[in-house]
A and B are shown apart, each in its own frame.
Chain A
Amino acid sequence: MSAIAKSPWVVHFNCSSCNGCDIEFLACLTPFYDVERLGILHVGNPKHADVLVVTGSVNHRTARVLKNVYDMIPSPKVVVAMGVCSSSGGIFAEGYNVLGGIDKVIPVDVFVPGCPARPEAMLDGILKAAAILDRKAREGTGVATVSAAKPVINLVPLAADAAPAPAAP
C-alpha cells in the first residue's frame, strides 16, 4: 500500500442532485461512520483532492463545470459516481435537459448504486477508488496534465446555450 491509498482526499461536487445522496455523503463524516479513521478527508478545493465524488445527473449547464472541476484535480485522480443519477441519469434520465450519467463528460472509475446510496456503500466505493488510485500511482498512468477524457457530448459555449431571440413579428 502506498501513501496515496492511505490518504485519499475527497472533493464533493453536486452536479444537479436532489440532495438525497449529498445528505447521505455528509453522514459519512459524522462520528458514526467517521471517514477520517481511514485517512479520508473532505476538502473543499479540487486542487488539494485525489478523489472526485459526484452526485446527481449531469445536464447542459453542469457539464462544463464538472469538466472544469475534474481538470483542476492534480493527477493521479479517480472519479466516483455516487448514486444512480450520476451513474446513469436515474429517474431524471428522460428529462429534456438531462444528458445522463457523468460518464458522458468525464471518465468514471467507480459506480456506487443506490437512491440514495447508503453511507456504507459510499465508504466502500471510496475505498475501491483508493485502491484504483494506488494502482494509477504505481503504473504512473493518469499523470497527463490534460485529461484523457473524451467527452461524448459536445460542450458548447455558454452563449450558444441561450435560446435564440424571438423573431420580430
Chain B
Amino acid sequence: MISWDQVAIGAAALLFAPIVGALLQGVDRRLTARIQGRRGPPLLQPFYDLFKLLGKEQLIVNRMQIVYAWLHLTFMAATVMMLALGQDSLMLLFVLAFSTLSLVIGGMCVRSPYSRIGSQREILLMVAYEPVLVLMVVGFYLVNHSFSIATIWQADQPLMMRLPLLFVALLAVAAIKLQKSPFDLASSHHAHQEIVKGITIEYSGPGLAVLELAHFYETTLVMALLALFWATNWWIGGALALGAYLFVILLDNACARLTTLWMFKFMWTVVLGLALTNIIWLYLSIQHIL
C-alpha cells in the first residue's frame, strides 16, 4: 500500500527538484563567468529563461516532437521521484535510459541534419556511459545485497568506503549528463555551442522550456546519485556532490570539446576500467579471496 508519507515525499521531490536544479545551474553560470573573468548573470537567470520560453510562441515541426519532449520530462521527473522514495536502482536506470531515448527520438523525428547529428551523438554518449551506470547498480547490490536505494540509506557504512573508484568513474558520467566539456557533443550549454545546439535545434518556446525543465530535474538527479555515496550523513553526502559539481565546472572551463571517438575510447577504457576494477576488487573481498 502507498502511505500518505510516500505521496508527500514524492510530491515534494517533484516540486523542489527543479528548483534545486535551476539554482545549481544559476551557480554554474555565475561561477563559469567568474572563472572567465566576467561578472555573470544573476543567480535566478535559469528561472527567467524558463518563464520567458513558456511565454513564447510554439513553432511545431511535427506533433510527435512535442510528445517526445514531454515524455523526456515525465520520465526524468519519475527517476527523481523514484530516487526520493528509495525505489529499485536498476529500475531507475531503465527509466532514465528511456527518458534520454525519448530525447533522441524527438531529435530524430525532424528533418534537420543538425538535429539528426545531435541525436546520433546522444546515442553514442548513452552507449559510452550506460555500462558505468550498470556497474554502479552492480556495486550497490554487492555492498548491500539489494537493488533498493532505501537499503543504502539504512546501511551503517557509506558506499564510498567500498566503491571509491566507481565514484571517480561517475564523475565522468556526471560531466556527460550535465553536458559539460570535453563531453558536450550532442548539445551544450549556452556560451559554447556545438552543431547549433544539436538535439534541441528544432524546439522553440514552450517545447524548449520542457527540455530545460527536464534538464533541471536531470541536474538534481545526478547530484542526488553522487550524494548517495555518503548516505549515512547527508551533510557529507551533500558536500561530496557539490564538490563533484565544482570539479565538473572546472573541467568544463579547462577543457576543449573533444571528438566523439576520443570520448568513446576514453569512456570504454579509462572510466569503464576504473569501474570494473572496483567491482572486481569488491567481489574478491566479499569472497574472502583477497
Contacts and interface: CB of A to CB of B under 8 A. Distances in A.
Contact of A45 (B37, B39, B201): B201
A137 B54 CA distance: 12
Given A37-B39, A74-B56, A45 B205 contact: no
Given A43-B190, A48-B197, A4 B52 contact: yes
A6 B190 contact: no
A39 interface: yes
B75 interface: no
Interface string A1-15: 011101100000000
A34 B39 CA distance: 7
Interface in B32-58: 33, 36-42, 45, 47-52, 55-58
A41 interface: yes
Given A137-B55, A145-B57, A6 B40 contact: no
Nearest to B197: A45
Interface in A10-44: 31, 34, 36-39, 41-44
Contacts of B42: 6, 39
A6 B201 CA distance: 22
Interface in B250-288: none
Given A3-B48, A31-B36, A137-B55, A43 B197 contact: yes
B7 interface: no
B55 A31 contact: no
Given A31-B37, A37-B39, A44 B193 contact: yes
Interface residues of B, number: 33
A88 interface: no
Contacts of B40: 34, 36-37
Q: Contact residue range for chain A?
A: 20 to 34
B59 to A, nearest CB: 5
B236 interface: no
A75 B57 contact: yes
Interface string B194-207: 00110011111100
A34 B36 CA distance: 10
A3 B52 contact: yes
B19 to A, nearest CB: 16
Nearest to B54: A3
A36 B203 contact: no
A146 B49 CA distance: 24
Nearest to B45: A39
A150 to B, nearest CB: 20
Contact of A7 (B49, B201, B203): B49
A65 B41 CA distance: 32
Given A74-B56, A74-B58, 16 more contacts: A4-B55, A6-B45, A7-B48, A7-B52, A31-B38, A34-B40, A36-B40, A41-B190, A41-B191, A42-B191, A45-B201, A47-B202, A48-B208, A74-B59, A75-B56, A75-B57
12 contacts: A3-B49, A4-B52, A7-B48, A31-B36, A31-B38, A39-B42, A41-B190, A43-B193, A74-B56, A74-B204, A74-B205, A145-B57
